[in-house]
A and B are shown apart, each in its own frame.
Chain A
Amino acid sequence: MIISIASGKGGTGKTTVATNLAVSVGSNVQILDCDVEEPNAHLFLDPVISETERITTPVPEVDEKKCTLCGKCAEICQFKAIIVIAETILTFPEMCHSCGGCLEVCPVNAISEKGRELGVIERGNRNGLEFIHGRLRVGEAMSPPLIRKVRSFTNPEMLTIIDAPPGTSCPVITSMKGSDFVLLVTEPTPFGLHDLMLAVEAVKVLGIAHGLVINRSDIGDRQVYDYAQKEAIPVLMEIPFSRNIAEAYSRGELIVDAMPVWREMFLKLYTRINQIVARG
């Protein structure tokens, strides 16, 4: 089973829920941190990293001796990553989406591929919990190809917990596509509600069963609860604001380690997700 943890708004507690849930379930679990722009799960899990892999994406390299400046490559490229100006052909590797169109269209085979570094994938382990995350190279704009690479380590024999990035656009969709369940983490504030509504729309586009975790459940107002009720989205867990939890978080500690009573709450959350997924 694949459970994605998403939110719309940033800083609502996705990583807190993902890491504590993974550790509470304990055996036969993997966590995939797909927030490759700002991966944080490792800060709380402190995994032993056993493998690091540099990930690249193919971009064009032009052999100027062969190139006839016919301009077909510039014509097919939708991303302005290859252009012909006067007697020169220029490539902009950072704009390239790696579609391979220029290679395919070149009549004289003047274009070959080289790699643009997207970032790294690190894999490791924490007390039997399998850990995988991607780390986007600072300066690299495109996160979805690296997210797809992280997702490729999904093991269908295990419970997969995906820590998704914030927002509702392509990186989030790439992260949570194909999940069996999306757990949306929000807070009961106007910003939390607004972004939750967008996130719910995104989950509906993908047609995935979903439920809510309301973090800092006693701050703000009741509008998130009213919305959940109206939309019939189950509230599966509430985490009240606690200075202890906030301080433990600030030090990189798991809630279930700082306050062991929470382990049972996260296991209960897992049971409820299982029940919903089993109902289909």
Chain B
Amino acid sequence: MKELVIISGKGGTGKTSLVAAFASLAEKKVLCDADVDAADLHLIMNPDLKHRNDFQGGSKAIINKQLCTACGLCRDLCKWNAISHDFSVNSLDCEGCGVCVYFCPEKAIDFPVQICGQWFISNTRFGPMVHARLGIAEENSGRLVTLVRQQAKGLAEKNGAELIITDGPPGVGCPVIASIGGASAVLIVTEPTVSGDHDMERVAQLAGHFKVPAMVCINKFDLNPEQGIKIEQFSRDMGLTVLGRIPFDPVVTKAMVQGLTIFEYDKKSQSAQAIENIWGQVVAGI
């Protein structure tokens, strides 16, 4: 079984639209949305929720005012300035390190585990999908990403699926690292802009750092062909596989507005043809 993770560095380059398009083309697969912070794949997949589960993240400190003697030790120890002068914990600032809980001489600090989000197993018209919703302003996105990927893997094994297609988050930090570790390959979708170039270089370095083979495709290529060619050249120099170019095409947005994949909306469009070609190479490459 293989796992392909779609990442980009820069946000808004078309990761989710591409994953949805691949869902139309791939056979015997499981879909996984690892962008738990701003998940969008469900807007196209229209999932039928089968299992809904709480995600337990870290713990947070709560001071019991009845037991607290206001000795101030917790305030001295807290590295996040999360404890106010009147000894209440600001949960947005609490890192969940538990140092105050451990050292409180009155044992006045509780440390309950937090429900930080939910994760789901669903059916879609393209097969099963694992997805999640991290709570607003929550931490531990990396752990939730790891969890949904494990669930997708378990589901794929159970169903005899050959491929997991994972929609990754933007950036290069914690959730991205959790998304790509141990994947068969990543596909970096970028755009021919100075930002797209800058950000794909960093995420390509990240894939290299974790020794995950990387492929590259450039969306909205004709917006700036010169920049696009520069990115392709850079990619080849770094030893990445360049898969192709997707033209700038308003049909992509129109399909999204209808909640459809590009192949459902207009499979004869230029962008659909380009994506079909890229998909053929992904299958061959992975």
Interface of A is mostly: loop
Contact residues in A for B139 (Cβ distance below 8 Å): 169-170
Most A Cβ at <10 Å: residue of B40, B77, B142: B40
Q: What's the Cα separation between A14 and B134 when bound, in Å?
A: 22
Count of B interface residues, CB-CB < 8 Å: 58
Q: Mark B5-44, 1 if CB is under 8 A from A, else 0.
A: 0001111110010000000000000000000011010010
Q: Is B108 an interface residue (CB 8 A)?
A: no
Instruction: Kindly report which residue of chain A lies nearest to residue B176, judged by CB atoms.
Output: A37
Q: Is A38 an interface residue (CB 8 A)?
A: yes
Q: Are A220 and B253 in contact (CB under 8 A)?
A: yes
Q: Are A38 and B10 in contact (CB under 8 A)?
A: yes
Most A Cβ at <10 Å: residue of B12, B16, B92, B177: B12
Q: Is B234 an interface residue (CB 8 A)?
A: no
Q: What's the Cα separation between A206 and B205 when bound, in Å?
A: 35
Q: Are B173 and A219 in contact (CB under 8 A)?
A: no
Q: Which of A98, A105, A141, A249 contacts B173 (CB 8 A)?
A: A141
- Chain A residues 28 to 42 lying within 8 A of chain B, measured CB to CB, are 35, 37-38, 40
Can you show 30 pairs from A to B with CB atoms below 8 A apart? A10-B11, A10-B170, A11-B12, A11-B170, A12-B11, A12-B12, A38-B170, A38-B202, A98-B79, A100-B79, A101-B98, A101-B102, A136-B172, A138-B205, A141-B174, A142-B174, A143-B174, A165-B171, A166-B171, A170-B139, A173-B137, A189-B256, A189-B257, A190-B40, A190-B43, A195-B38, A205-B92, A205-B136, A221-B257, A249-B193
Which residues of A pack against B, CB within 8 Å?
8-12, 15, 35, 37-38, 40, 43-44, 76, 78-79, 97-101, 104-105, 136, 138-143, 165-171, 173, 177, 189-191, 194-195, 198, 201-202, 205-206, 219-221, 246-247, 249-252
9 closest cross-chain pairs (CB), A and B: A10-B11, A11-B12, A99-B97, A37-B171, A250-B224, A252-B194, A167-B37, A250-B193, A141-B174
